[in-house]
Amino acid sequence: MPSKNLLTSFSTYLCMDNIIFIDKSGDLGCSSKSPPYLVISALIVENSEQLDRFIKNMRRNKFKKELKNAHEIKANNSKPYLIKHMLKKLNEIEHAQAFHIALKKNV
């Protein structure tokens, strides 16, 4: 169960004029082949302009070849140098916050 502090922080951001990107890792299935965890992550930014700019730069210039046919950028399909660059740029976004919740499934 998430800590009260995490929930308080998350709800505070929801009340502001922020942009929230939410994604999950893992699947919702409960078969023996399913991963034991489901991770839900949220990236909250005050203004998506910096985020949009660096993603466009990655797609048009720096990683044009790697991201040519990619509908979305997925870490599990990306080279380590691309992931490193993306994380570096995400850390440069002012007032960005990331929240993650890992749920253990009873499989």
pLDDT in tens, 14-70: 555 788 888 888 777 777 788 888 889 998 888 888 888 888 888 888 888 888 888
Structural domain boundaries of the chain? 4-104
* Whole-number Å distance between alpha carbons of 42 and 75: 16
Structure tokens belonging to residue 51 = 């985020």
Nearest C-alpha neighbor of 89 from the set 53, 39, 41, 42: 53
Specify the pTM: 0.68
The pLDDT of residue 74: 80
Give the residue with greater pLDDT, 48 vs 107: 48
Reduced DSSP (H G I as helix, E B as strand, rest coil) percent helix, strand, coil of the chain, to 5: 40, 20, 40
Nearest C-alpha neighbor of 56 from the set 43, 47, 67: 67
